[in-house]
Chains A and B, each alone.
Chain A
């Protein structure tokens, strides 16, 4: 977190390259990433409030059903549904911005360089530090060919396994050299032959490109929030069905179990979001 916050500060002084960045482009990209993480925090916070409020209206709805207050029940269920729609709307905005920034999971992870150099067809040479970490052959849309100056060895045509340790250690990009592994157990020299297809990025080659583990983070982020969103959708279906039945006047002091149970489900969706929010939006 502090890392990206620093980058944001430095962003205000273009001529200065912070000591921990290798290139200005890297600094700009890190700044962008930091800004988006900041924005997503705001959106996540707003969405938390929205979902908590929907839990209030749902609990109030259960109370109304227990007391046979049909009008209040209908209102509360409608409000809950409206907040759920709002939640998904904000979620959509969030996903859309990440889509545009290329912050997509896994093989589609492709953080774009600043817009003024990115026309959507790929970045110019010089911004390769963000792209080279995506291995050729598994890049999603608009994958650029590696720039000639790319430190990662070989072109995609070299399908045969590339040895993990190039002959000349000085050709390696900055980062740990082979033999620097943090483990005492040395990895098998070349790995199983024939397994690696395409290029092998040497250990730590991209360590400074984008904050570590960002790619895997967005994989987890999309899976977790996506699964949660699916549960929201299911909950909306349940609430809509409850709304229809409450309009018909099905519920009252002697029969409110469906509202009660639907409410429990909705609160659980809220409960999970309460934990997802700090894990996905606040901690980096």
Chain B
């Protein structure tokens, strides 16, 4: 399951398995909390089209921190990280293309032209 931990990181290592130091764990947590406060704080300013970009950008940073340190991907076999990235790419592909298409066709839809929610 685990490959040899890289020694570049000043962490303890037991039987070739990387152990996260407490300082790093807590440090990451502090950064995550600061970023959360930042995300909420930024909503009090209307950045127009950048609202979404800023919010998702900060989320991406937070997610990367969790994945790299809490989920050990930084010290793990690169293939495991590759799997995570590939699955995220596929989610983005699906949501992205579907929403792009929906934006195009939705103006043509006629509201209400469908059977109402009535059971026979």
Chain A interfacial positions (CB closer than 8 Å to B): 1-2, 41, 45, 48-49, 52-53, 55-56, 58-60, 62-63, 66-67, 106-107, 135, 137-138, 164, 181-183, 185, 187-188, 191-192, 195-201, 203, 253-254, 257, 260, 263-264, 267-268, 270-271, 274-275, 277-279, 282-283
Contact = CB atoms under 8 A, between A and B. Distances in A.
Contact of A52 (B17, B19, B22, B32): B32
A66 B29 contact: no
A45 B58 CA distance: 14
B108 A187 contact: yes
A2 B112 contact: no
A76 B12 CA distance: 19
B8 interface: no
B108 A200 contact: no
Nearest to A205: B111
Contacts of A1: 43, 46, 51
Given A191-B110, A253-B14, A274 B66 contact: yes
Interface residues of B, number: 44
A62 B110 CA distance: 54
Contact of B46 (A2, A53, A254): A2
B40 interface: yes
Interface of B: 1, 12, 14-15, 17, 19-20, 22, 25-26, 28-29, 32-33, 36-37, 39-40, 43, 46, 51-52, 55-56, 58-59, 62-63, 66-67, 69-71, 107-108, 110-118
Chain A interface, >50% SS class: helix
Contacts of A135: 112, 116
Question: B19, B39, B63, B110: which has the most chain A beta carbons within 10 Å?
Answer: B110
Contact of B110 (A49, A164, A254, A263): A164
B3 to A, nearest CB: 13
Given A55-B29, A135-B116, 5 more contacts: A56-B29, A67-B19, A106-B117, A263-B70, A279-B56
A48 B52 contact: no
B36 A191 contact: no
Contacts of A275: 56, 59, 63
B117 A66 contact: no
